[in-house]
Structure 1
Amino acid sequence: MFRCFNLLLLLFCLVYHSENTSISVSGNKGGNITLTCESEAKNIFHIELIGESGGIDVCQNEEYSGRVFKEGNCDVVIKNLIFSDAGKYTLRVLYNNQTDLERQIRTYQLHIHDEISVKTGEELKMSVLVFNADKVKTNSSGEWKEVWTRDHGVQSDRMNDDTDINLIIKSFLDSDAGTYRVLDTEGEILITVTITESKEKLEHTDDTKYDPVVSWIALTVVVLLLALILTAVTLHKRLLRGDLRCLSRRTRAPEALRAHNDVC
């Protein structure tokens, strides 16, 4: 009798687990993902999408202004992904079977990726401390270690957290490069950020960055100004020589002076 009870309990657990296993869905930050319902039924009455923070409005198609809309029979698309989209979702599809409503429930675990290139010495802000984040781990040192937890905050004096939104590396070093994972309370991965060191030097990131087009224009303007100045000096010298000749002629005899007045 006891063995039969254990067998029934095991069977129940297997059935329950199979019905509640989350479907893993991954997408890039700024991209789109699709939560598929895999149903071709024509008698769908209504669909509901529920996130960890509550119900989500699903537009009938992409023409509406929302980021979440229905596609095809009952698939749901989330576009322009942001970090706070990561987490668990439940999709409820209600079928109208004459007088009875049949329901299909599917759960999803949305995982968001991002890649960042950072210059040495630059401050790095990662908006990964979403509301359902429990801890952040990194393998930048060669093995996975915690750098932030919900209960204790940052674990390094080189880091800071900004109003529970941004995880901040104050001055980035090449040793900070690596993969950063954001996990929820159940250890599920919400966000993965891959950080690499930029080869561009930090001193070239200010507002006086070299621009070859601007430099060529500036050089052309300088050459034209020098040409105008040289022309003005040449004309001035010629006029000065003419004045000196007239002056020397005026010092001659009165007859010669009268003869050359018109010329001068």
Structure 2
Amino acid sequence: MFRWVNLLLLFSFIIYSESPPVSVTGKTGGSVTLSCESEAREIYVVELKRPSKNILYCEKEECKRADKRVFKKGSCDIIIKDLIYSDAGKYTLIVYYNNDQTEVKPETLEYYLHIHDEISVQKGEDLKLDGLLINADKVEHQNTISSEWKEVWTRGHGVNSGRLTDHHGNLTISNFTVTDTGTYRVLDSNNEILITVSVTESVLDWKGNLIDTDEDKTDDTEHGNHWMLPVGVFVIMVLMATLVLLVRTDFVIFRHRHRD
């Protein structure tokens, strides 16, 4: 009995001492680094896995990759470029190293990659979220005027709205309205957030062009400055012409008086 108690305590200690996955956040189209921060003297093998497949296998400086967007940097850091929705989820990095030159030991690190995206949609158009549902268990929506999260899609039941369609993992909201703005988040079966998408409504400027970001607003300001420059030059030229005219008038009057 005492032996079983010891085994149970040992098992509980192992579970408790296991470090949680490192949380990493990246934006669609950008890149992210899974840092190993290893102090090993000599690393033999670096292996990156996901629950469904092997991503990268490097032996010394020779690497075999299942995805061309994944690279090894330095001794064991991993870089994922051109992030897409399906990259979100859990990763396991196994580093085989030798510190005492006698035994090769594995070190296992876990990461949880969260993808963030920002989308602007014009009223009446369709909002397409391609690849959003690949690893999803459910999708929730929080409107900009509410703090409540509402389920709009669940695995096994599909969409919960007449304007939503699910076609092979691609979620589409037809006839976009103001009530569709806000935040959409994708969760897995463990209620871990995979993806967060912030959706806003596009507005039109006085030229009929879409204004989606602050950068566009900056561009409009620059255009306004370009318009102000010619106007300023014109005003200066008018003032100079008026000054010349006044000087010439005074000179004519002076000559006329001097002649008299």
Is the aligned partner of 1:153 residue 2:155? no
**Code of the aligned partner of 1:101:** V
Query: Which SS does the other structure have where 1:100 is aligned?
Result: coil
Aligned ranges 1:210-229 → 2 under 5 Å: none
**Code of the aligned partner of 1:199:** V
CA–CA separation in structure 1 for the residues paired with 2:25 and 2:9: 32
Range moving further from structure 2, 80-89 or 34-43: 34-43
Closer, same or farther: CA 61–115 of 1 in aligned 2, 3 Å: farther
Query: Which SS does the other structure have where 1:37 is aligned?
Result: coil
Closer, same or farther: CA 58–193 of 1 in aligned 2, 3 Å: farther
**2:47 alignment counterpart:** 48
Matched residue pairs, number? 201
| Superposed structure 1 runs of 4+ greater than 6 Å apart | none
**Code of the aligned partner of 1:172:** F
Alignment check: 8 A CA contact 2:45 2:57 kept: no
CA–CA separation in structure 2 for the residues paired with 1:24 and 1:42: 26
**Code of the aligned partner of 1:71:** K
Aligned ranges 1:43-122 → 2 under 5 Å: 43-57=42-56, 66-96=68-98, 97-122=100-125
CA–CA separation in structure 2 for the residues paired with 1:182 and 1:161: 14
Closer, same or farther: CA 110–158 of 1 in aligned 2, 3 Å: same
Q: Percent identity?
A: 53
Range moving further from structure 2, 33-42 or 188-197: 33-42
Rg: which structure is higher? 1
CA–CA separation in structure 1 for the residues paired with 2:38 and 2:71: 17
CA–CA separation in structure 2 for the residues paired with 1:53 and 1:187: 19
**Code of the aligned partner of 1:87:** G
**2:219 alignment counterpart:** none
Alignment check: 8 A CA contact 2:139 2:151 kept: yes
**Code of the aligned partner of 2:27:** N
Aligned ranges 1:10-29 → 2 under 5 Å: 12-29=11-28
Is the aligned partner of 1:163 residue 2:168? yes
**1:184 alignment counterpart:** 188
Cα RMSD (Å) of the superposition? 2.8
Is the aligned partner of 1:134 residue 2:134? no
Give the Å deviation of 1:40. 2.5
CA–CA separation in structure 1 for the residues paired with 2:189 and 2:16: 19
TM-score by length of structure 2 reads: 0.69
Closer, same or farther: CA 117–10 of 1 in aligned 2, 3 Å: farther
**Code of the aligned partner of 2:151:** E
Is the aligned partner of 1:198 residue 2:202? yes
Alignment check: 8 A CA contact 2:165 2:173 kept: yes
TM-score by length of structure 1 reads: 0.68
Unpaired runs of at least 5, structure 1: 206-264
Give the Å deviation of 1:145. 1.1
Give the Å deviation of 1:8. 7.2
